Each structure stands twice: as structure tokens, then as C-alpha cells.
Chains A and B, each alone.
Chain A
């Protein structure tokens, strides 16, 4: 059966139905919600020190009628969960700092007043007696918070037998997610529990996080999502401040709102990346990869969030990349630094793995005098399913086709003249997506409308458009007749590029069941193992000798996300993620000084790429359907953040003739590298 036989809505570039409302300013974000009677606004007293003992908190008369709460009033911790095999120390994030602060910006006291401005005024009269302690900022000198080891195949034997071993060290700095709408919550006591509006990625993890922090049964926490202005991974679990606001609402029997500002978001929202790795690649005389070893040091920060361990775990598990490497050993050490914690940020371990491995592959090619594309081709995974030595199973893919398309699109270039150096870089990636479960319900209304309800939590992706297409395709109706709603169903959450594969498949199954069994309503639950998307990215960069300024001449993005439901939305994800990834590669870096102070705490010091800097980007898709879900879909939301930094990194190192520079590739660093002696052979 072809798409056309079924109405042909899957695979069609349908325009986003969300946009008219958003562009007209009719969205309702958290801070736009009508304010309930008696609402109190929250501000926080935050630690000015990276590490200090709290000797006491006193409220001075200037605070007036504001209400002030500390950890003594609102105890509690956020939940922690570890991926399989990850050993963690006991370090859950406290709702408010009890007895000690462990990062600059950590919330010490909650201040409630009739407006946010009054709450901030009152916060200046909360006197915290700190005994500052020495801060540990360097992850290499910090105590261990997390450990993960995984080994498969005869790693030691492979290294002993290797004709060549490439050894590389790479570092990727911390970054911030910077969603356009920062975090926030509106919590209202109701009945035996709380009704909560929260700016979050999904309801499932919001309920779980708040219930744990407040010591309530999950049934007593009812969560609804307003429009959410982006998350990029940073709203996957409630903030401690959100839990504090909810706890205060419960305790006072009054509604409480916390709508954070950009400064709070910079200081206290969990950051992403922050990993370094020693990578060793063993090769035989024919350029076959025999084994990979990686020791990854992750700068975890002060506490573990529920999903803090996921990025370093994902990074480690992906250290075989797109290659058929028979043996691998990975070790992750998570360091407890006195900095704001880390967590998922678009890509979440996948960009780190791609950069660590792909930059090492290019280095190996330079050392062996091989074409880096040829070295890749000799080692690609070509048969699926493919079990990696680390224990993941790639479901489908066509990596060589991705490389061929990317190279053709980018048009490789390499030259060096008096003005500029130009280089080309290619990087492959494999990413995990999907897994676990989602639910859906599809109902026929008497007036002919179809109502599809999903457990997903949209925050900018276009889920309404995509899910309506799936229902329309299955039932043979126009998408306009399909209304899409969210909430009230069980699900895992909206993260890790999983919604099309999981929530989309659940909607598909519900619609198919309705079609098959008749009646007016059908429900479905879809569960699957992980699916593995892939892609090849390629970049040509030009670096000006006089200034070190880098220009991306051309960027090619070839993604294999399985079957594409909506090529327009998919390309939108590729463009957005690629520009995001390029910003991370070129200039994003969250910097803490030696005292643990964040020196990049506003957009004055931390820049995001803008449309004006978006490069000549050429996107294409290879579609290797996943056998693990009825749509054949994988994930597309993160590919650009994964592929771009690695491809640009290889292009930069190609242009620099192998001189080593870690991202971000700022003009100052590139200028200094060009001023330093060349390395050979290149």
C-alpha cells in the first residue's frame, strides 16, 4: 500500500497549524495565565558563593509583610534516577539549601509578596550568614559523584595487536539551554492536593518530580502545561525553585507563582555538556578499527537531577559511533564540582560522543596519511540490526549513503593563502531516540471532527501538525478535521527526539484500532526499544589569518530519521538544531571563574547565534525505516546539535593543519592557533 492509497498525509510537507496563533501573539505562556485571587509572587535569595556553610538566616524588618521560607520550613529533595549500570553517590538536589550552599545562585530562601518586584525588594532584607569555603571548580580535582564502566570484546587484546593507536584528548565546555521562555510554575492548592501549571517539557516528569519533592502521592499533584516557549532539554524535571513555590502554596493554602527572569535562568537552570575525554583508537595495518577506549570526565556540578546521569551515560554508550568496532571500553567519572548541576541540553551526550569519536577518527586519518572519508568507509556498520560491543542494538541505517550525500552537498574545499585557510570536515553520528512508552486516544465526534489526544508535551516542535497528519492519513480524512489535544494520558515524556516514533506510533495505533474495530473511540499504548537515528554532516570553513574570524562557507546536513512524517517540520528541526549546534561550536561557553562565579550570567557575556549568522545550509534526508515502530520513524530534533559541532570541529582542524583547538572555536583561539607552529604530518 502506498502513501497515496491511504490519503497520503504521512510524508507531506503540511504547514504548521500552531504558527498562526503563535505569530499573532495569542499564545498563553505561564506568565500570561490569569492570576488567581490571593496570588503570591516568588523571588529567591540566592547564594553569592560557590561553596559556603549557612550559619543562619534572619529576616530584617525591611522585609515588611513578605513571607520568607528556608529549608527548615520547606525541606525536601528532588528525585534521582540512574541509567542501568551507573553508580551514583547520594547527592539529590535540595529544594532549598539546607545548611550549606554548593553553587553560586543556589536558592537559599523563598520570599513571597504581592508582586515580583515587592518580593525582590524584600529579598534584599533576608540576611544570610555565610561561612565561605574553598570552591572546587576543576572537575579533575573534584570528588566523584558518578561512575559508569562498560566493556565489550577483547579490548586489551585489540590494543596489544594494533598496528597503530591514535590518542586524543578533547574538551567540550558547559553551555546553557537558553529557552526563550524561562522556567516557572503557578501552583494552587485544591482539594487534597495541588493544581499546577508549569513551563515544562511534559506532565509525566513534572508530576513525578513535584510529588517526590513534596512528599505527596502523585495522584494529588495535577499538572497542566500552558504554551511552553522552548526547553531544549532544560525543562525535563521541575526546578527546585518550582518545588519550593509548590510547597509554599500547599503550606499556605494560597496560590503561588514563580516566573523566573533571564538572570535566574543563567545562574540556576541546569547546564549542558561539560565533558572531556581521553580517547584511544586501535587500528590494524589496513586501517580497520579494532577497539576504542574512552575515559570520560563529566563536570556534573553540585547535585544530581533525576536525569543528570543520562548525558554522560549516553555519551559513553555511543562511543562506537557509526563504526563496526569489535571491542570497546568506556569509563565515565562524574565529578562533583561546586557549580550549578548539569543535565540534558539538546543532544544530551550525543554531541559529546560524536565530537570525541569523530575528531579522533580525523586525527587517526592524519596520522596514517589516509583520507578521513576512506578511513570511515572501511569501518562503517553495514548490516542491521547491529549489536555494539557496549550493548546497544542499532535498528537500521545506511551510513555510507549519508556520507555520500553530505559530501556531494557540501563540495569539499581545502586551501591556504595569504588571507585565509580553508578546510573541510565530515562527521557521522548515531543517536538513540525513542524507547519506553506513550499513550493515545482517538475519538470521533458527532459533528464529524476527530479528536486525537496524546501523552506528549509539545513545546515548539509542531506535534499538533504531525499527529493530525498521522490520524488523517490513517482515517482518510483531511487534517483540518483532526483536533489534537494533550494531557490526561500516561506517558514517559517529551525528550530525546522521541515523540514522532513513540507518541506518533501510539496515535497511529489508536487510529488504526478505531478504523478496524469501529465505535467512537479507541485507545492505544505503544512501547518499544530504542531506535537509532543517524546522519552525516559536512562543513567547509574559512578562517581569516589576520583576525581568526571563522566563516562557515557551506554546511551540509544529511539525517536519517527513518520515515519522515512531515519533511517541512523535519527540515525546520534540522535548521534550528544546526544553527544551535553551530553556536555551540563557535561561541557558546558557560564560564565559571576559579571562585566558582559564573562570569557569563547574561546575554552580554553569552551569545547565541542569530539568523544573521545562519550559514548556507543544505539539508537532505535518507530514510531507513525503523523496524521497531509502525511508522518506521526515529527522531530528528537533535541531529544538528550532534553533527554540526563535530563536522565544524573537523573542518577547523583540517584548516589548521591538525593544530589542536577545543570548542568553542572563537576568533581569538583560532588566531593564536594560526600563529603557532604547524604540526605534521598533515
Chain B
């Protein structure tokens, strides 16, 4: 299908972009989910604000925390030696996002803001207790994963807000991580998945497929509220496997 008519604008600065987004606009951040939705006419925004050319939104920087610009390509995250070494969970998760072609166009911020409950990056970032830095023309705020992810394809972002940066705290000393999922085929959306961070005196798990948003918990993982017995069993097995891989 072809998208319904829309206006297209590609600002070059963040301030311009913030001035353009609003009720009838959708930011375009790689387009790996939004463009199919446009083509199916499930999304019919009056205006697309393409963030492709906005300066200063694509970077991976590490100090005491990891800071990822929202327009950073998933492929760049995947190829970052720094990320693989110090935040291996992100490396483990991003490799499972779609196919190579999708990761070379798709962005980290786009995946987060799209909030697909089957997406890997929101789950990994939830396990890592990431902070999400948001800007609007009138101000800025920072959200936790629990505050950001509200439901299926739904976040706490207001129409005039843009996710600009994701900040990931350092892992506890001697932490080990694992991301495992069950998908029909390599690159397909996962049916269920689990991200774990294990360190002496520390454990965190985030679940994919347990609810409409990533579920963060301590071990043992809270699976009792999942109605479908198969999904419950699958998640339990995936959590076990993730723990085994991270141990």
C-alpha cells in the first residue's frame, strides 16, 4: 500500500525540529516501523518531521554512564566495541533486532519511542535501568523506563516532546549479562524474551512478552500473573537460560 498524503520536512537543528512537532506531526527516526504503518495507512499524520538531518543526535559516548543519542543507528550500537565491552547486554540485544538491513536504518531512539512490546531494546534498557532524556520547545525532563513505557505502542511522551538521549548507568562491578528470546525465525519479532544482569549482590531481569510493556523485576521473575500457561512456561525457561548464560 502507499501512504496517505502527508507533508514532509527535514529540519537540521533540534530547535527547528522541536518547533515543528506537535499534535498532527510524527517524528521520523529511521522509519523501520513508522513507514510500514504509513503504508498500511494505520498512521496518517499530516506532517512527517524527519530527524535524519538534525545535528547532534547521533553519538555513543561513555564516561561514568553511557549516553546514546536518540538518532544513533542500531547498527552503530551493534558495532560499538565500547558498548560490547562495558554494556554487553545492549550488544546482546541489538543483534536480535530485525535483520541487518533494518538495523542499518533503524535508530535506538526510534525503537524506544515506538514502544513495541515485542522490541528488544526497550527490554534491555529497562533491565539496565536506563534514563530517557526528553526535550520540548518549552523544557526538558528525564523519565525512567517505568515512567516512559505506558502500553502497546504508547509512551508518556507528549506530542510536542522528542526523546533526545538515552543514558545508561554503569553496570555493577563484575556484572554479567544475557539476552535470550524465542522467535519463529531469526530476525522475526520475539514471542518472549528475557534480559538479565547478574553481579555479586545484584540481580535484575526484564521480560519481553510478559505484559504490554517491559517488566523489570528481581529474581525470581514474577510470572504468576501471566494467564497463558505456555507463555508462562516459555518465559520461565528463557529466564533460566539467560541466568545460565550470564552465570
Residues of A within 8 A of B189 (CB): 604
Q: Closest CB of chain B to A317's CB: distance in Å?
A: 34
In chain B, what residue has the closest Cβ to A671? B230
Residues 594-617 of A, flagged 1 when their CB comes within 8 A of B and 0 if not, give: 000000001010011110110000
Residues of A within 8 A of B182 (CB): 547, 549, 667
Q: Quick one: given A587-B184, A613-B186, A667-B182, are A547 and B237 in contact (CB under 8 Å)?
A: yes
Contact B188 A116 (CB under 8 A): no
Residues of B within 8 A of A124 (CB): 4
Q: Quick one: given A116-B2, A120-B1, A120-B2, are A547 and B184 in contact (CB under 8 Å)?
A: no
Q: Closest CB of chain B to A82's CB: distance in Å?
A: 36
Q: Is B5 an interface residue (CB 8 A)?
A: yes
Contact B186 A612 (CB under 8 A): yes
Q: Is B40 an interface residue (CB 8 A)?
A: yes
Within 8 A of A (CB), among B25-69: 39-40
Q: Quick one: given A547-B182, A607-B188, are A121 and B5 in contact (CB under 8 Å)?
A: yes
Q: Quick one: given A668-B230, A671-B233, A672-B230, are A610 and B186 in contact (CB under 8 Å)?
A: yes
Q: Is B138 an interface residue (CB 8 A)?
A: no
Within 8 A of A (CB), among B197-214: none
Q: Is A404 an interface residue (CB 8 A)?
A: no
Q: Closest CB of chain A to B209's CB: distance in Å?
A: 12
Q: Closest CB of chain A to B132's CB: distance in Å?
A: 26
Within 8 A of B (CB), among A636-679: 667-668, 671-672
Q: Is A535 an interface residue (CB 8 A)?
A: no
Within 8 A of A (CB), among B1-24: 1-5
Q: Is B185 an interface residue (CB 8 A)?
A: yes
Residues 523-558 of A, flagged 1 when their CB comes within 8 A of B and 0 if not, give: 000000000000000000000101111000000000
In chain A, what residue has the closest Cβ to B188? A607
Complex CA–CA separation, A273 to B182 (angstroms) = 28
The contact of A610 among B4, B185, B234, by CB within 8 Å, is B185
Contact B2 A607 (CB under 8 A): no
Q: Is B187 an interface residue (CB 8 A)?
A: yes
Contact A609 B185 (CB under 8 A): yes
Residues 208-241 of B, flagged 1 when their CB comes within 8 A of A and 0 if not, give: 0000000000000000000000100110111010
Complex CA–CA separation, A348 to B238 (angstroms) = 38
Complex CA–CA separation, A374 to B186 (angstroms) = 39
Q: Quick one: given A120-B2, A667-B182, A672-B230, are A546 and B237 in contact (CB under 8 Å)?
A: yes
In chain B, what residue has the closest Cβ to A119? B2
Contact A607 B230 (CB under 8 A): no
The contact of A547 among B1, B3, B39, B234, by CB within 8 Å, is B234
In chain B, what residue has the closest Cβ to A606? B184
Q: Quick one: given A549-B182, A604-B189, A612-B186, are A121 and B4 in contact (CB under 8 Å)?
A: yes
Interface size class of chain A, counting residues whose CB lies under 8 Å from the partner chain: 20 to 34
Q: Closest CB of chain B to A111's CB: distance in Å?
A: 12
Contact A263 B188 (CB under 8 A): no
Complex CA–CA separation, A328 to B5 (angstroms) = 61
Q: Is A261 an interface residue (CB 8 A)?
A: yes
Q: Closest CB of chain B to A31's CB: distance in Å?
A: 13
Complex CA–CA separation, A587 to B191 (angstroms) = 13
Residues 97-125 of A, flagged 1 when their CB comes within 8 A of B and 0 if not, give: 00000000000000000001100110010
Within 8 A of B (CB), among A375-407: none
In chain B, what residue has the closest Cβ to A116? B2
Q: Quick one: given A607-B185, A610-B185, are A263 and B234 in contact (CB under 8 Å)?
A: no
In chain B, what residue has the closest Cβ to A672? B230
Complex CA–CA separation, A54 to B74 (angstroms) = 48
Complex CA–CA separation, A610 to B4 (angstroms) = 32
Q: Closest CB of chain B to A513's CB: distance in Å?
A: 50
Q: Closest CB of chain B to A336's CB: distance in Å?
A: 29
In chain A, what residue has the closest Cβ to B2? A117
Q: Closest CB of chain A to B167's CB: distance in Å?
A: 31
Contact B4 A548 (CB under 8 A): no
Residues of B within 8 A of A116 (CB): 2
Contact A261 B1 (CB under 8 A): yes
In chain A, what residue has the closest Cβ to B186? A612
Q: Quick one: given A547-B234, A604-B189, A667-B234, are A263 and B184 in contact (CB under 8 Å)?
A: no
Contact A546 B1 (CB under 8 A): no
In chain A, what residue has the closest Cβ to B184? A607
Contact B230 A548 (CB under 8 A): yes
Q: Closest CB of chain B to A62's CB: distance in Å?
A: 11
Most buried by B among A547, A549, A610: A547
Residues of B within 8 A of A546 (CB): 233-234, 236-237, 240
Residues 177-194 of B, flagged 1 when their CB comes within 8 A of A and 0 if not, give: 000001011111100000
Complex CA–CA separation, A121 to B39 (angstroms) = 12
Complex CA–CA separation, A544 to B3 (angstroms) = 43
Q: Closest CB of chain A to B62's CB: distance in Å?
A: 32
Q: Closest CB of chain A to B208's CB: distance in Å?
A: 14
Q: Closest CB of chain A to B37's CB: distance in Å?
A: 11
Residues of A within 8 A of B230 (CB): 548, 667-668, 671-672
Residues of B within 8 A of A672 (CB): 230
Residues 64-85 of B, flagged 1 when their CB comes within 8 A of A and 0 if not, give: 0000000000000000000000
| Known A607-B185, A610-B186, A612-B187; further 18 A-B contacts with Cβ < 8 A | A116-B2, A117-B2, A117-B3, A120-B2, A121-B2, A121-B5, A263-B1, A544-B237, A546-B233, A546-B240, A547-B233, A547-B237, A547-B238, A604-B189, A608-B185, A612-B186, A671-B230, A672-B230
List 9 A-B pairs, Cβ < 8 Å. A121-B4, A547-B233, A547-B234, A547-B237, A548-B230, A587-B184, A607-B185, A607-B188, A671-B233
Residues of A within 8 A of B (CB): 116-117, 120-121, 124, 261, 263, 544, 546-549, 587, 602, 604, 607-610, 612-613, 667-668, 671-672
Those 6 A-B pairs whose CB atoms lie nearest each other, nearest first: A612-B186, A117-B2, A546-B237, A607-B184, A668-B230, A547-B237
